[in-house]
Amino acid sequence: MSKLDRETPAQLLVSELMILANGLAANALAANGVPAIYRSQLKPQEIVVGEGTDDLYLNYLQRRYLSRAVLGLTPKPHSGLGMAAYTNWTSPIRRYMDLVILRQLKSMVQERPPVYATTELESIVSRITLCQSQALQLKKEWTRYWILKYLEKEGIKSLDALVLGQGRRTYHLLLPEYLVEASMPLEDGRGLSPGDHFRVEVIRVNAREEVLKLRMA
């Protein structure tokens, strides 16, 4: 097993171009009055950090104030991406929404009537919204499983940790190298505060049982 770097220069370039293509498609569909499904996001409820801030803890706090992205039939701004209108049609796995938008774009380019009318898209949005929520949860669980599996298989015994918060009995931690959250008993820490960085010792990890037991190194 090995770690995959998702932020190589090539991957970042492709991601930026995909975002640009999605934004241009959304603008074209809206300008030509072609019914489409748009993804929008309101501005954050509160600004905690300034643009370009690298502090991981402050960026985590900012995430708590981000508005959820929603699907709709009206073009609206997507604050997270800085787009006046946004849709999806560039996914390499060809999600159903991408196929719908591709069909609408094709009909527009060929100067033919849209494949889907507004009423049909309303029904599609209601169906894929639920499926999308379930898929995101599954992806989150899948990602966590394989991170734990990697830690288990490689026998990793020590990690960097960041304190995100404190509950009645545990510290809420983030393991920055893997961007996975975990917990540690209060008695295994010594006066830690949110934002503190320290090292933890991996006592036990079991991916199948979703167990990750830590204590201060």
- Which pLDDT tens digit goes with each residue over 89-135? 998 877 899 999 999 999 999 999 999 999 999 999 999 988 888 88
CA dihedral 13, 15, 17, 23 (to 10 degrees): -150
Q: Where are the domains of the chain?
A: 9-116, 155-216
Q: What is the pLDDT of residues 20-41, one digit of tens each?
A: 999 999 999 999 999 999 999 9
Query: Which of 166, 164, 167, 153 is CA-nearest to residue 202?
Result: 153
Cα separation, 39 vs 101, whole angstroms: 12
Query: Binning pLDDT at 50, 70 and 90, where does residue 53 land?
Result: low
Q: What is the pLDDT of residues 195-208, one digit of tens each?
A: 999 999 999 999 99
From residue 180, alpha-carbon distances to 39, 79, 120, 143, 168 in Å are: 27, 25, 39, 9, 21
Structure tokens at 55: 């502090």
Q: What is the pLDDT of residues 3-15, one digit of tens each?
A: 777 778 999 999 9
CA angle 127-118-112, nearest 5°? 120
- The helix/strand/coil state of 169 is coil
Residue 80: HSE in the Cβ half-sphere, 13 Å Cα cutoff: 15
The class (CATH top level) of 155-216 is mainly beta
